[in-house]
A and B are shown apart, each in its own frame.
Chain A
């Protein structure tokens, strides 16, 4: 299910400062005049993980990311970066941030633009130039260096933006909707790059609305809604926690109704010679199988149905919305 994730690291949810965490947020608050954008949020991000920050529009994700990147100061709470208290002036050079609303200077040449942004991150001119050569070669865009940004397509601009975000080899990389506007081939290119960087120790915060990407990429997620954290944990764990004990079973022949009557499970949905069943309390998975074996019905296929992150997301957001 999560085969693409590079590291099957288990993540413990400690609120104490852990040297294994690249980022610790403790009771962060940011209030605006009319609403509480971030209201007492705490979580930790282990080194080298790919961390999904999820939430509906207006949940406070951008405000949270802006505090982590030192753009905003929290009204209350503490941020610890790499084991030390977060100092925006020093630490921003170890952070790469690609905001959702992003852009480049239209009239500037691609090469100059990337060099400029790298220098602002504290890279020396020569060092930056070497890195530009490396990345432009890697993405096969060396011929663009003297083109102006406005001459590039949106997807091409996106690639340039990505390079300028990761050029200084950040310890923490924050990507807000990194795949929007990219075709499948370039999406794959960026995605592979993200995995490789994670493998080399970069921690990645990944914010998106596309849940299938979250399952594919993230090994840990935090879900926020209305400024509060409503869910926090490893993707596998969350799928387990929210499972509905549903199973899909495909049979060789159609059983008669009497053969389906049992106290171990109830039928949720009836497909052609196949059923979605819900396991009853106090019963075991194997009870389903032995029930059919007992009736002499051949089982072709049997699997547990785990909730998708999308389903968890929707149900949890609805629940907190209703609670308010």
Chain B
């Protein structure tokens, strides 16, 4: 027992102390936060100040309201001369609205020194559109207040399960997709890490030295557990850093900017930002309604279960690879294939959590770590009955004990076998052979 602990410690420390580990662990959250913050900064910069409006149509006078740091000032001037001098008069931009027939509006031109930001463009477009729409309604004889009365906004509230937990399909979709995909990445990245570790030991010929001190099984499990700890450490640091950095940026540049930016990113969403705001509010409300501890428990269970299930197989493959690293590619294919099939099932399960493929995919241990996580956010026991969850978990535990047993048999022979290309038939014989 203490020997396996020494192995775990080495596997863990050598990886955690690597420069590449430290870099990816620290840079990824920075990159993540930068992805959210930089566009917000870019978008808001340069779009503040006074905007001169030359309105030749006379429809807009006094109707363009200021927004944020943008102030509209109506100017009586000749556009051909003014467009050369607006900058020197302290304006940051010039909006030229030509004479128009409201049934066929012409294009409107905005002069500025630099590129116009997306958020300013969409907010200006919306203002001008609203005013033209009002004018058209007036011409068509439609009473604006009546139109407001006719408009409806229906919200379907979904009460799922016996307790009538208020759920959101969108949110279940997002959580299911996110956690399924994360487990998929974990299985492949850390599975490959296990395989490369085993290959290193075999090719460096250190395996025989170590195995004269410990059992092959201890060496294999020590590596698998050590790398699992590396994975958990990395995710823990990421979560802490992402949450921490997010709050630091929110405090520094203000939350409106981030959320404004999120909406302005898509002009169509900005156009009906009221609806978007409502959806966001709905999201925020229902975040509290998700059973987070349960979902996190399931995530950790399926992450570990799935990792152990596949890591042992990757270790076995690593032990079969000889001098030629290209062997690894063809040998890993039988293992990566079910993982890839799982992610395909997951994509459909997350939209139709009760389809036959989704149900069976979430029970069979080859795919359950990825597929089950797509279904769980839809509700237990509402969408996933207890028996399915229980069966899936028991099978996954049985599954990884099984793969570990099989892998240990392959590993102990493979790790000491040099120079020979191994056929599947031989591997089959190792499984049947005693000790």
Contact = CB atoms under 8 A, between A and B. Distances in A.
Interface of A: 33, 66, 69-71, 73, 89, 92-93, 95, 97-99, 101-108, 116-117, 119-122, 161, 164
B204 A120 contact: no
A116 B212 contact: no
Contacts, number: 61
The 10 closest A-B pairs by CB, nearest first: A103-B205, A103-B204, A97-B212, A120-B213, A103-B206, A69-B212, A99-B208, A101-B205, A119-B6, A73-B435
Nearest to B211: A71
Main secondary structure of the interface of A (DSSP, over half): loop
A91 B41 CA distance: 67
A95 B208 CA distance: 14
Contacts of B210: 117, 120
24 contacts: A33-B426, A73-B435, A95-B212, A97-B208, A97-B209, A98-B209, A101-B205, A102-B206, A102-B208, A103-B206, A104-B204, A104-B209, A105-B200, A105-B204, A105-B206, A106-B204, A116-B10, A117-B209, A117-B213, A120-B6, A120-B7, A120-B213, A120-B214, A164-B209
Interface string B52-87: 000000000000000000000000000000000000
B213 A121 contact: yes
Contact of B205 (A33, A102, A121): A102
A104 B206 contact: yes
A95 B213 CA distance: 9
Given A99-B212, A105-B14, A121-B213, 18 more contacts: A33-B429, A66-B416, A69-B212, A71-B416, A92-B212, A99-B209, A101-B205, A101-B208, A102-B208, A103-B204, A103-B205, A106-B204, A116-B6, A117-B209, A117-B213, A120-B7, A120-B213, A164-B209
B3 A120 contact: yes
Contacts of B215: 89
Interface residues of B, number: 22
Contacts of B212: 69-71, 92, 95, 97, 99
Residue with the highest number of chain A CB atoms closer than 10 Å, among B204, B212, B213:
B212
A101 B415 CA distance: 12
B418 interface: yes
A98 B213 CA distance: 11
A95 B210 CA distance: 12
Interface string B1-44: 00100110010001000000000000000000000000000000
Interface string B194-231: 00000010001110111111110000000000000000
Interface of B: 3, 6-7, 10, 14, 200, 204-206, 208-215, 416, 418, 426, 429, 435
Contacts of B208: 71, 97, 99, 101-102
A53 B204 CA distance: 25
Nearest to A88: B215
A5 B209 CA distance: 28
A122 B10 CA distance: 15
Contacts of B211: 71
A122 to B, nearest CB: 8
Residue with the highest number of chain B CB atoms closer than 10 Å, among A98, A99, A103:
A103
A71 B215 CA distance: 8
B14 A107 contact: yes
Contacts of B3: 120, 122
Nearest to A97: B212
Contacts of B6: 116, 119-120
A161 B204 CA distance: 13
Given A116-B10, A119-B6, A120-B214, A103 B429 contact: no
A176 to B, nearest CB: 10
Nearest to A149: B204
A108 to B, nearest CB: 7
B209 A102 contact: yes
Nearest to B218: A120
A103 B203 CA distance: 9
Contacts of B7: 120
A89 B214 CA distance: 8
A122 B213 CA distance: 9
A73 B211 CA distance: 13
Nearest to B10: A116
A57 B139 CA distance: 103
A56 to B, nearest CB: 17
Contacts of B10: 116
Contacts of B200: 105-106
A146 to B, nearest CB: 13
A103 B14 contact: no
A120 to B, nearest CB: 4
Contacts of A102: 205-206, 208-209
Nearest to A176: B208
B214 A101 contact: no
A216 to B, nearest CB: 26
Contacts of B416: 66, 71
Contacts of A120: 3, 6-7, 210, 213-214
Contacts of B213: 92-93, 117, 120-121
Nearest to A96: B212
B332 to A, nearest CB: 23
A108 B14 CA distance: 8
A119 B9 CA distance: 11
Contacts of A71: 208, 211-212, 416
A102 B202 CA distance: 10
Contacts of A104: 204, 206, 209
